[in-house]
Amino acid sequence: MLTAILAIAALAVLFGLMLGYSAIRFHVEGDPIADQIDSLLPQTQCGQCGHPGCRPYAEAVARGDDDINKCAPGGEATILAMADLLGREPVALDAEEKLPAVAFIDPERCIGCTLCLQNCPVDAIVGAAKQLHGILSKECTGCELCLPPCPVNCISMVPVTEEISGWRWPFPSTPLKETAKSQPERAAA
Amino acid sequence: MTEYALILIGTVLVNNFVLVKFLGLCPFMGVSKKLETATGMGLATTFVMTLSSVITWVVNQYLLEPLGIGYLRTIAFILVIASVVQFTETVMHKTSPVLYQLLGIFLPLITTNCAVLGVALLNQQSQHTLVESALYGFGAAIGFSLVLTLFAAIRERVAVADVPEPFQGSAIALITAGLMSLAFMGFAGLVAN
């Protein structure tokens, strides 16, 4: 009994060590630039840049195959962040600058076909077959991917108006990192 | 030498793991929709099956048998197979990214392929030597790849054929597999093994 437990444990430890060693020995470095660009993108996976998602776009930018101004949902903030990261000149957004908007389903015209559900990259549309669909406006990123598949054109984009209940402090314009960096200098001085 | 050749022919054709022993049916049904993926799966399985049949033989011969704990064979072999698959994935990711991309998700899926465990257990049951085990594993994997590729090719044709509605999808695939199994019965008796 004890032998059996010990033998299996020894076998498991042996293979565990082997796997641990191989994980270190054969460690594959990812593309750190692509990772960093990917973390700047809004992750809506909307495909408006012409790539099948945010990650492929980040990889294309890292390879130098694409410009940094293709991300419509990210807007100017993303372009500036990417220009900062890559040391390139910021360029104007390639897509039309749009006001932040969310999709809205006209309840009188929706036939409950579920076609828009399947196209939503962030699962912001709820509904079932032959039931009226609704949009979770908090989740909607305004990527407009649900517009083309709708057979009755019942989805429209409604601009988001800022209200007291939804107002938030804007993000700090200077990155927090720089403040942290300047502190040791002050201490040294 | 003849004996080794007989093991190969026996496992590839006569006692084919999928169509005669009915092992490894899940990947046989699951990844046979496209010829390309079927070939990838066949390649990955061949590698893992050969390697794991050698390692399980060593584990059985030098660990389980001397300690008299042969009844733990199944659990020990599952451990070995899972580790071999994980190890293969790590090494392949580093050494040949192209092959890694090609095999992709199929590598981890091999862990749950019952044909791999079947080979390891049958090796001990029929008291093979190390070389025989390796050949047996290799032959079984070649047989698996062969029928998987054939089946995928047939399914690609069936996909564009005019199949009656009640038979579409999995139904016609199962019938096709059954017919292939019947065809492989023709090899029975070729080798006495």
Q: CA dist B106 to A125, B48, B88, Å?
A: 33, 11, 12
What distance in Å separates the CA atoms of residue B134 and residue B47, rounded to the nearest whole number? 11
With residue B41 as reference, give the H or E element that holds it: helix B35-59
User: What mean pLDDT comes out for the span B62-80?
Assistant: 90
With residue A104 as reference, give the H or E element that holds it: strand A101-105
Binding site for [4Fe-4S] cluster: what residues of A are annotated? 46, 49, 54, 71, 110, 113, 116, 120, 140, 143, 146, 150
Domain assignments of chain A as residue spans, ordered by start: 32-86, 99-161
Task: Give me B159's structure tokens.
Answer: 């996909």
User: What mean pLDDT comes out for the span A149-165?
Assistant: 84
Residue A188 pLDDT > 60: no
Give the whole-number percent of chain B exceeding pLDDT 90: 39
List of chain A residues whose C-beta atoms are within 8 Å of the C-beta of residue B93: 26, 28
List of chain B residues whose C-beta atoms are within 8 Å of the C-beta of residue A27: 94
Residue B178 pLDDT > 70: yes
For residue B145, the Cα-to-chain-centroid distance in whole angstroms is 7
User: What mean pLDDT comes out for the span B30-34?
Assistant: 83
Kindly state whether A4 is in contact with chain B, defined as any CB-CB distance less than 8 angstroms.
yes
Cβ contact (<8 Å) for A7 and B95?
no
Q: Å from A32 to nearest chain B CA?
A: 17
User: What mean pLDDT comes out for the span B137-156?
Assistant: 93
Q: Are B127 and A62 in contact (CB under 8 A)?
A: no
Q: Of A81-90, B89-98, B149-158, which gets the smallest average pLDDT?
A: B89-98
Cβ contact (<8 Å) for A7 and B91?
no
pLDDT confidence of A159, banded at 50, 70, 90? confident
Task: Point out the residue among A4, A15, A23 whose CB comes nearest to the CB of B72.
Answer: A4
User: Helix, strand or coil for residue B91?
Assistant: helix
Helices (H), A41-160: 54-63, 75-86, 115-119
Task: Give me A99's structure tokens.
Answer: 């006001």
List of chain A residues whose C-beta atoms are within 8 Å of the C-beta of residue B69: 3-4, 7
Residue A176 confidence (pLDDT): 57
Cβ contact (<8 Å) for A26 and B83?
no
**A160: Cβ–Cβ under 8 A, 6 or more apart, which residues?**
A99, A100, A101, A102, A137, A142, A166
Which residue of B lies nearest to A8 if distances are taken between CA atoms?
B76
Pick the CATH number of A99-161 from 3.40.710.10, 3.30.70.20, 3.65.10.10, 1.10.3720.10: 3.30.70.20
Which residue of A lies nearest to B62 if distances are taken between CA atoms?
A7
What distance in Å separates the CA atoms of residue A163 and residue A71, rounded to the nearest whole number? 26
Residue B152 confidence (pLDDT): 93
With residue A156 as reference, give the H or E element that holds it: strand A155-159
User: What mean pLDDT comes out for the span A129-147?
Assistant: 85
Give the whole-number percent of chain A exceeding pLDDT 90: 10
Mean per-residue pLDDT of chain B: 88
Greatest Cα-to-Cα distance within chain B, rounded to the nearest angstrom: 60
Residue B144 confidence (pLDDT): 94
User: What mean pLDDT comes out for the span A77-90?
Assistant: 84
User: Helix, strand or coil for residue B113?
Assistant: coil
Residue A174 pLDDT > 80: no
List of chain A residues whose C-beta atoms are within 8 Å of the C-beta of residue B51: none
User: Helix, strand or coil for residue B97?
Assistant: helix
User: What mean pLDDT comes out for the span B31-56?
Assistant: 87
Residues paired with A102 in a beta bridge:
A158
Q: Which of B69, B71, B95 to mutate to test the interface with A (most CBs of A within 10 A)?
A: B69
Task: Point out the residue among A11, A15, A18 whose CB comes nearest to the CB of B63.
Answer: A11
Q: Å from B29 to nearest chain A CA?
A: 27
Class of domain A32-86: mainly alpha
Task: Point out the residue among B75, B90, B94 whose CB comes nearest to the CB of A8.
Answer: B75
Residue A50 pLDDT > 70: yes
Cβ contact (<8 Å) for A7 and B80?
no
Instruction: Determine whether A116 is exposed, middle or buried from the number of CB atoms within 10 Å of its CB (0-12, 13-18, 19+).
Output: buried
Greatest Cα-to-Cα distance within chain A, rounded to the nearest angstrom: 73
User: What mean pLDDT comes out for the span B130-158?
Assistant: 93
Number of neighbouring beta carbons within 10 Å of residue A129: 8
Q: Of A143-157, A170-184, B148-162, which gets the smallest average pLDDT?
A: A170-184
Task: Point out the residue among B76, B87, B93 whose CB comes nearest to the CB of A19.
Answer: B87
Q: Å from B96 to nearest chain A CA?
A: 11
Chains A, B: CB contacts within 8 A come to 42
Residue A189 confidence (pLDDT): 45
pLDDT confidence of A177, banded at 50, 70, 90? low
User: What mean pLDDT comes out for the span B33-46?
Assistant: 84
Task: Give me A155's structure tokens.
Answer: 């989805």
Residue B143 confidence (pLDDT): 94
Cβ contact (<8 Å) for B90 and A23?
yes
Residue A187 confidence (pLDDT): 46
Residue B105 pLDDT > 80: no
Residue A14 confidence (pLDDT): 93
Kindly state whether A28 is in contact with chain B, defined as any CB-CB distance less than 8 angstroms.
yes
